[in-house]
Amino acid sequence: MSQPNHEPKEDAMSVQVYIPTPFRRATNNQDRVSLEASDVEALLDELEESFAALKGLVRNDRGEVHDHVNIYVNNEGIESLQGLATPLKDGDEVSIIPALAGGSSTPA
Amino acid sequence: MILSEDEWARVREQAEAEYPAECCGVLLTRADAEPHRLLLPCKNVQNELHAKDPQRHPRDARTAYFIDPKDLLAIGRREGQGYGVDVIYHSHIDAGAYFSATDKQNALMNGEPFYPAATYVVVSVMEGKVADIRAFVWTPAARDFVECPM
């Protein structure tokens, strides 16, 4: 488990981040990371600062979460919370999980 | 063995029951714990996505699948317990059991497979009955998903 060496921010909360298999190539194979962040956006910033290879995998260059990536705080998708502004509290677990999707070649 | 007889029977049953919607699910495996194999039929939420935003999601569940994010979270939690995604399956409605361009596009991230070790199983359901089943694996030399024996 990683404990990145950043100075804790005053309003930052200690959060566990679950990293699924597809993103572990960018996190030195770590499946869980402990970070301090006040909201989801700050958490993604911290995460990308700790693991530069994650840049572009979770968010696009405009800072928006890719359509094929789902982020959950505990059991709730952030789209039904406050999106990237979703506040975090001590002990929250954040999961970043890519979509599984596909379909036939038949046009809709 | 990609799917046991029992697993295959359950996938077949799900594929026919959910016709004319594409079905989907995963098989998770873990060698050092019981159960070793865990078949997780998932909910296809493509119809909901299409109804909510048809421009962004022009297909409905007849020609596409999108695993319910709640199921994705459950899969992620199992992965956290040490399970691996061994098989990802879905059905094609009144179409063949091929790995489509859409399937490939959605299985890749920046040109690399999300799950390079997983086998993708595609079930063809014709007029409500399973007609064919085929399996595909990522083959680095071909930079493509190539059919493999079931």
Tell me the domain boundaries of chain B.
5-148
pLDDT tens-digit profile of A27-73?
A: 998 889 999 999 999 999 999 999 999 999 999 999 999 988 989 99
In B45-64, the residues whose Cβ lies within 8 Å of chain A are: 46, 56, 58-60, 62-64
- Specify the fold of B5-148: Cytidine Deaminase; domain 2 (3.40.140)
Query: What is the per-residue burial (b if ≥16 Cβ within 10 Å, else e) of B1-34?
Result: ebbeeebbeebbebbeebbebbbbbbbbebeeee
Residue A4 pLDDT > 80, yes or no?
A: no
pLDDT value of residue A10: 57
Residue B112 pLDDT > 50, yes or no?
A: yes
B76 touches chain A (CB under 8 A): yes
Complex confidence, ipTM: 0.89
Residues in A lying within 8 Å of B, measured between beta carbons: 18, 20-22, 25, 31-32, 56-57, 67-68, 70, 72, 75, 77, 95, 97-108
pLDDT value of residue A108: 42
Residue B140 pLDDT > 60, yes or no?
A: yes
Average pLDDT in the B94-104 region?
A: 95
Distance, in angstroms, between A10 CA and closest chain B CA?
A: 30
Contact A101 B106 (CB under 8 A): yes
Residue A5 pLDDT > 50, yes or no?
A: no
Nearest CA in chain B to A22: B114
Contact A70 B72 (CB under 8 A): yes
Contact A100 B72 (CB under 8 A): yes
Under 8 Å between Cβ of B122 and B97: yes
Contact A99 B106 (CB under 8 A): yes
pLDDT tens-digit profile of B49-79?
A: 899 889 888 999 999 999 998 899 899 889 8
pLDDT value of residue B39: 97
- What's the pLDDT band for A9 if we cut at 50, 70, 90? low
Averaged confidence pLDDT in chain A: 86
Entry pTM:
0.85
- Domain spans, chain A: 13-98
pLDDT tens-digit profile of A79-97?
A: 889 999 999 999 999 999 8
N-terminal to C-terminal alpha carbon distance within chain B: 7
pLDDT value of residue B53: 86
Homologous superfamily of A13-98: Beta-grasp domain (3.10.20.30)
